[in-house]
Amino acid sequence: MVTATASLRRVIAALAVGGVLVAAPASSQADEPSAREDPGLPYIRCTEELQAVGGCTNDEDLNLYNWLNFAQVGRTGSLPAKQWAQIPLTMLASNVLFYGYSHYEEHPGPGELLNEQFIEAQAFLVSPKGSKDDYGDSALIPVRTVAFGSIPVEITLQVSQQRDGDDLPTAIKVKTAQDQYETETDGYSSRVVVSPAVIDQPLTVRVRKVAVDGVDVQLSGATCRTAQTARLRVASERQEMVLDLRDPVKNFSDNLFDPDHGFYGLSGGTLNGTIDIPAFTGCTTAPGDDLSPLLSSAISSPDNPVTLRIGGLGCFSFDGVRPRPTQPGANTAEEAGCSEIDNPNNPKLRTIPFPLDFPDYAPGDQPPE
């Protein structure tokens, strides 16, 4: 078994540019943190369940050494407005566990399991500049549509994580798995199966600004939000790859992995699904007009399509030799310390994903044949 902290220290040490990380000695588990290491983020717990599978050993190491950062872009569609919108670059501060099991000593035969690898992440949106909270808010999402058939309207949305009793964001949790099987008795070939990753998360959708025909209607962006929690449900596709140790390209799963469809932790990937957006409340203008019913009719709907594309590991923030979460307001690659992945055998693997193109059909419609 490989423990999470040891594995992540090796990964970060190999990928960090211009420095070497020194692993601190293991420490005893504290009942309560003496001081919060990262204001604005919850203290991550090394539960008994995670200890049992070798995911972590204690709270302190988990909070000091397991912060990794990723970049996310996306696309969503409004069924009522029949309009697509880009989800701009948002950084994810993620506390990541990396562990696995090896079955090589059992001398598995053809078709039998060689090893298992698991990655569990608790992710937090890094709030953009000007946000009330340091973590938990997405970048602003502009949605352009028309009212009354001809008047251009721009609605600026923001998605926020739920918050706990200490007013800290609750984690977006995702777990991925990769199983490797023997395919030949000569030991040169193996089959890798990347299981689907699933996110099922309650969120809050806020309307920050409304402009009609280019004129700001002075909406109260602090109170305009979904009356009930929205629900995000996305998943990646299952992928299967055949590795061949005799081939310089096919001997490494990252060379064969397709992030346009699958998702596997440190390599990033793509998840597709829907977001349910309930009716809005508190959407009053400075003169006192309530736009909640109008915004609900224009935006609220179940099953709005959404695609999230998450980049691979390559964004680092350090406090001395320790990896830290991306700092609040750092929502560019430069501010977040991102270095682009250099894998000539698989140019699809990127730290900063490219923006997603809009389909040539409206949200909710069938693709043309």
226-259 pLDDT tens trace? 999 999 999 999 999 999 989 999 999 999 999 9
Is 111 within 8 Å of 183 (Cβ atoms)? yes
Amino acid at 8: L
What's the rounded Cα separation, in Å, for the pair 88 and 101?
A: 37
The whole-number pLDDT of residue 226 equals 96
Going by C-alpha positions, the residue among 221, 204, 223, 209 that lies closest to residue 275 is 204
1 is written with which tokens?
A: 């078994």
Least confident of 22-36, 112-126, 186-200, 244-258: 22-36
Instruction: Give mean pLDDT, residues 199-209.
Output: 96
Going by C-alpha positions, the residue among 89, 41, 36, 97 that lies closest to residue 327 is 41
Instruction: Give mean pLDDT, residues 49-71.
Output: 89
269 is written with which tokens?
A: 């990937």
3-state secondary structure the chain: CECHHHHHHHHHHHHCCCCCCCCCCCCCCCCCCCCCCCCCCCCCCCCHHHHHCCCCCCHHHHHHHCEEEEEEEEEEEECCCCEEEEEEEEEEEEEEEEEEEECHHHCCCCCCEEEEEEEEEEEEEECCCCCCCCECECCCEEEEEEECCCEEEEEEEEEEECECCCCCECCEEEEEEEEEEECCCCCCEEEEEECCCEEEEEEEEEEEEEEECCEECCECCCCCEECCCEEEEEECCCEEEEEECCCCCCCCHHHHCCCCCCECHHHCEEEEEEEEECCEECCEECCCCECHHHHHHHHCEEEEEEEEEECCCCECEEECCEEECCCCCCCCCCCCCECCCCCCCCCCCCCCCCCCCCCCCCCCCCCCC
Answer whether 0.85 is exceeded by the pTM.
yes
Is 324 within 8 Å of 316 (Cβ atoms)? no
129 is written with which tokens?
A: 């500049």
Is 194 within 8 Å of 176 (Cβ atoms)? yes
pLDDT tens digits along 120-151: 999 999 999 989 999 999 999 998 887 766 78
pLDDT tens digits along 207-220: 999 998 889 999 97
For residue 210, what are the β-bridge partners?
Answer: 155
What's the rounded Cα separation, in Å, for the pair 313 and 15?
A: 9
Percent of the chain with pLDDT over 90: 62
Is 227 within 8 Å of 268 (Cβ atoms)? no
Q: How confident is the model at residue 36 (pLDDT cuts 50, 70, 90)?
A: low
What's the rounded Cα separation, in Å, for the pair 125 and 104?
A: 39
50 is written with which tokens?
A: 């995670």
Give the position of tokens 């999402």: 141
**Model confidence at 300: pLDDT above 90:** yes
285 is written with which tokens?
A: 């203008």
The whole-number pLDDT of residue 70 equals 96
What's the rounded Cα separation, in Å, for the pair 312 and 117?
A: 17
The whole-number pLDDT of residue 148 equals 63
